[in-house]
A and B are shown apart, each in its own frame.
Chain A
Amino acid sequence: MYTRLCAFLSKASLMLAVVGLIAIILCVQYQVFGRYVLNDTPTWAEALALMLVIYVTSLGLAVGVRDAGHIGLESIIVLLPESIRLKLEILIHLLVGGFGGLMAWNGYLWTTLKWSDTKPMLGVPSGMDYVPLVIAGTLIVLFSIEHIIALFQGKEVEPAWN
């Protein structure tokens, strides 16, 4: 049940990220079009692309946690005996999950602090830049818990998409 929820969240995040990535590319291409064809550079395009990239990154990095896609040094723990290795792996997921929690909490702090301030060129609250931290942080916590449960059950978390 919990795994199914996480799998759904993971796939949904990735789909949203794909939409975001394509939107970023369209923004940048429209900027070129505006500059040369309309001779009126759309000033919002770059600003929007820069805001979207944080959303795409946050979603992608959270899925990266679930799919164990982050680059790390695994050479030493594979040499350790099974029982210690299991404990160490749980510790790693606890640390990553804890960092996710901090990310969500501090993202929330910045979001509220910067909400009354407007972003130049876009006119939206500056706090929008920090909302992705809340999303990514929460997802990281959920996915880390999923990994820990899976370790106790002796299973592995299957990537939800490819």
Chain B
Amino acid sequence: MELTVLCISFTILLLIGVPVAFAIGISSVCTIVAAGLPIAIVFQKMVGGMQIFSFLAIPFFIFAGELMLYGGIADRIVKFANSLVGHVRGGLGMSNVLGCTLFGGVAGSPLADVSAMGSVMIPLMKKEGYDADYAVNVTTHAALVGALMPTSHNIILFTLATAGIAAVSVFDMVLACVIPAVLLTVANVIAAYGVAVKRGYPTHGKFPGWGVVLGTFLAALPGLLVIVIILAGILSGVFTATESAATAVFWALIVTAIVYRTLSWENFLKACAKACKTTGVILLLIGLSAAFGYFMALYSVPEKTGELMKSVTSNPWMIFLMINILLFVLGTFLDMAPTILICTPIFLPIAQQYGMDPAQFGVMMLLNCALGLNTPPVGTTQFVGCAIGEISVGQVMRSILPFYGALTATMMLVTYVPAFSLWLPQTLKAALH
């Protein structure tokens, strides 16, 4: 009865356009009233959900990402990527993939990545004669790698969503994402190259020589060091993940304000304000999802879903495929954060039961949610990319299949070959021991 109230009220609220966080909150209130429990519990869970130490890394990563966005780091990364791969066929496409991947590592957010790299690369590619749909697709898909980078707040989000189900440390997750991120980049390069050849985009200029590459690399290096700081900080044990994130903010500030001198006071304030707003939006979602999680536990939703799936098949491969498909369907109309928060408690126990490691599940989920960012009807990075490229979502679909293919292939490799996600954390842990 209470579960019916929860599902129906949530679906209706979502469909009529109530923001996801409020839809979760209001349907939680409806459910708790139906259950005859005090409404106050919803708000207690909300505060409790926002107040977990590791969640502090989220505002920090968001803040660092905003500083990077406003602070001229993207330009230097574009120059470096161009000098390295700008001369091959579809060269700007290749440099776009490389640049987005690098900036994604710095900012850790697909959205920041599309905004920063897209606003430089998409107009440039269009000017050089590339089709707008190609330019947008290359950017929006390369940007998804940001979700797997050590600076990604979605990684933190996942580790927190696993609380009470499995012990996945930020350390494990950050490392588990490294090889899949490389895989996805390679897949993106292949897709970008494939489309370039098929459409007959010309080659462009000549290789400028290693001297130029080195020069542009050194110019981009201070910005890129953020990734190194975070990885080294966590791995060496000097910082916790949260402390690393706070250090990343300081570094971002030093690089943009002092080294590059590209961050004006006005932009600094803008970045601060934007970071606070985004923090509010995301942590509200996290807090209220905790109330949602409370009901799911109270009414044994994961167990019931598990039994339902078991009644269809007991083959682990099929179960994993089903989880991927369900995640994909949800991802088409939900954003990354709510999908992670709502689905982890439901699907992780099932996946674990069929022998999947929680960290591997996390990478699979991040990839799947990332795909959702580029699918209509609601795909936030796709929207931003299309807006910058001045084309419609319909137009962008023309060359999207090879890129979907690249993502799906990476997702399947991660789903069915545990080593891609687990080898690195296990090896490094053994070395530390």
Contacts and interface: CB of A to CB of B under 8 A. Distances in A.
A46 to B, nearest CB: 6
Most A C-beta atoms less than 10 A away, residue of B26, B47, B55: B47
A161 B25 contact: no
5 contacts: A25-B249, A49-B56, A57-B287, A99-B25, A129-B51
Contacts of B16: 76-77, 88, 91-92
A21 B377 contact: no
A24 B20 contact: no
Given A69-B281, A71-B281, A106 B20 contact: no
Given A17-B273, A60-B276, A110-B44, 14 more contacts: A14-B277, A24-B59, A32-B239, A32-B243, A53-B50, A69-B277, A70-B22, A71-B19, A71-B20, A76-B17, A99-B25, A106-B39, A107-B43, A129-B51
Contacts of B20: 70-73
Contact of A60 (B25, B281, B377): B281
Interface string A19-45: 011101100110110001000000000
A133 interface: yes
B276 A59 contact: yes
A29 B25 contact: no
Contact of A95 (B18, B51, B249, B284): B18
**Which of B22, B44, B378 is most buried by chain A, counting CB atoms within 10 A of its CB?**
B22
B249 A57 contact: no
Given A18-B272, A99-B25, A56 B17 contact: no
A63 interface: yes
A57 B19 contact: no
B89 interface: no
Contact of B279 (A46, A56, A70, A133): A56
A75 B276 CA distance: 27
Chain B interface residue count: which class? 35 or more
Given A25-B249, A28-B246, A77-B16, A110 B22 contact: no
Interface in B235-280: 238-239, 242-243, 246-247, 249-250, 269-270, 272-280
B335 interface: yes
B19 A31 contact: no
B71 interface: no
A96 interface: yes
B277 A64 contact: yes
A146 to B, nearest CB: 16
B281 A53 contact: no
Nearest to A13: B276
B320 interface: no
Q: Which 10 A-B pairs rank lowest in CB-CB distance, beginning with the nearest? A: A60-B280, A61-B280, A70-B19, A17-B276, A72-B19, A28-B246, A57-B283, A106-B43, A75-B377, A60-B276
Q: Number of contact residues on A: which range applies?
A: 35 or more
Nearest to B377: A75
B333 A57 contact: no
Contacts of A99: 22, 25-26, 29
B107 to A, nearest CB: 17
If over half of B's interface residues share one DSSP class (helix, strand or loop), that class is named, otherwise mixed; here it is: helix
A93 B14 CA distance: 13
Interface of B: 13-23, 25-26, 29, 39-40, 42-44, 46-47, 50-53, 55-56, 59-60, 63, 238-239, 242-243, 246-247, 249-250, 269-270, 272-281, 283-285, 287, 333, 335, 337-338, 377-378, 380
A115 to B, nearest CB: 15
Given A29-B247, A70-B21, A73-B15, A53 B59 contact: yes
Contact of A50 (B40, B56, B63, B280): B56
Interface in A122-155: 129-130, 132-133
B281 A61 contact: yes
A74 interface: yes
A54 interface: yes
A109 interface: yes
B13 A77 contact: no
A53 B247 contact: no
A83 interface: no
B276 A50 contact: no
A7 interface: no
B280 A62 contact: yes
A35 B124 CA distance: 48
A157 interface: no
A71 B247 CA distance: 29
A77 B276 contact: no
